[in-house]
């Protein structure tokens, strides 16, 4: 599966699905975000349909970033059944995968 790109029009409906969801809050101008990008892409491939891997561009969807108090990027949020269950910064592929699949 590929990374989903979320914005105000599809964020709530996607997060409220029953699957475990990782959301990477990022921006194109953010160097650490760009460095994390390939890891997020690889994670989406590895988890396939077992979970959802998504991104929110904080410049295009500041309302979503504000709702979750995103002050620094990249920030990663983990959702289970529509509820925010965990927040982290950049991590290794294995750490992100383990966290996402074991929510």
Active site residues: 30, 33
Report the b/e string of 69-84 with b at 16+ CB within 10 A: ebeebbbbbbbbeeee
For 80, phi then psi, to 5°, come to: -135, 125
- In terms of Cβ atoms closer than 10 Å to its own Cβ (0-12, 13-18, 19+), residue 45 is exposed
CB 55 within 8 A of CB 26: yes
């Amino acid at each position: 599966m590929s990374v989903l790109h979320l914005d105000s029009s599809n964020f709530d409906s996607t997060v409220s699905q029953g699957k475990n969801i990782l959301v990477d809050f990022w921006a194109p101008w953010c160097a650490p975000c760009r460095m994390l990008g390939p890891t997020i892409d690889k994670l989406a491939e590895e988890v396939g349909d077992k979970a959802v891997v998504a991104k929110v561009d904080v410049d295009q969807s500041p309302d979503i970033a504000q709702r979750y108090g995103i002050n620094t990027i990249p920030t990663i949020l983990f959702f289970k059944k529509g509820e925010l269950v965990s927040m982290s910064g950049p991590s290794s592929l294995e750490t992100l995968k383990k966290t996402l699949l074991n929510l």
